[in-house]
Amino acid sequence: MASLRSVVLAGGGTGGHIYPLLAFADALRRHFPEIRITTLGSPKGMENQLIPAAGYDLRGIPAFQLPRSLNLDLLRTPDRMFKSAQAAGEVIDEVQAQVVVGFGGYVSVPAYLAAWRRELPIVIHEVNVPPGVANRMGMKFTRRIAVGFPHQLEQAEALRNARLVGVPLRTGITGMDRPALRPQALYHFGLRPDLPVLFVSGGSSGARTINLAVAAAAKRLAHAGIQVLHVQGGRNDPFEVPTDLPVPYVVVPYLSDMQLGYAAADLMLCRGGAITVAETTALGMPAIYVPYPFSNQEQRRNALPVVESGGGMLVDNSELTPEWIEHNIIPLARDRQRLAAMGTAAARYGRRDGDEQLLRFVLEAVS
Ligand X SMILES: CC(=O)N[C@H]1[C@@H](OP(=O)(O)OP(=O)(O)OC[C@H]2O[C@@H](n3ccc(=O)[nH]c3=O)[C@H](O)[C@@H]2O)O[C@H](CO)[C@@H](O)[C@@H]1O
Q: Which residues bind ligand X (CB under 6 A)?
A: 14-17, 19, 127-128, 201, 203-205, 231, 254-255, 258, 271, 273-276, 279, 292, 295, 298-299
> 235 or 348, CB closer to ligand X?
235
> 226 or 275, CB closer to ligand X?
275
Q: How far is the CB of 277 from ligand X (least distance, A)?
A: 7
> 144 or 170, CB closer to ligand X?
170
- For residue 126, which phi and psi values (nearest 5 degrees)? -125, 135
Please tell me whether 367 is known to bind a ligand: no
> 6 or 155, CB closer to ligand X?
155
Angle value at C-alpha 73, between 69 and 75, nearest 5 degrees: 120
CB 77 within 8 A of CB 64: yes
How many angstroms separate the Cα of 9 from the Cα of each of 140, 164, 306, 343, 358? 18, 19, 29, 33, 13
Of all residues in this chain, which one has the CB nearest to ligand X in the complex?
273
Q: How far is the CB of 101 from ligand X (least distance, A)?
A: 15
Q: How far is the CB of 125 from ligand X (least distance, A)?
A: 10
Q: How far is the CB of 163 from ligand X (least distance, A)?
A: 18
Q: Which residues contact 357 (CB under 8 A, 6 or more apart)?
A: 146, 165, 166
Please tell me whether 128 is known to bind a ligand: yes
> 169 or 347, CB closer to ligand X?
169
Distance CA(22)–CA(41), nearest Å, equals: 12
Please tell me whether 203 is known to bind a ligand: no
Number of H helices, E strands in the chain: 17, 13
Please tell me whether 48 is known to bind a ligand: no
Please tell me whether 16 is known to bind a ligand: yes
Please tell me whether 220 is known to bind a ligand: no
CB 284 within 8 A of CB 346: yes
Beta bridge partner(s), residue 265:
none
Distance CA(232)–CA(18), nearest Å, equals: 19
Annotated binding site: 14-16, 128, 170, 204, 299
Annotated binding site for UDP-N-acetyl-alpha-D-glucosamine: 14-16, 128, 170, 204, 299
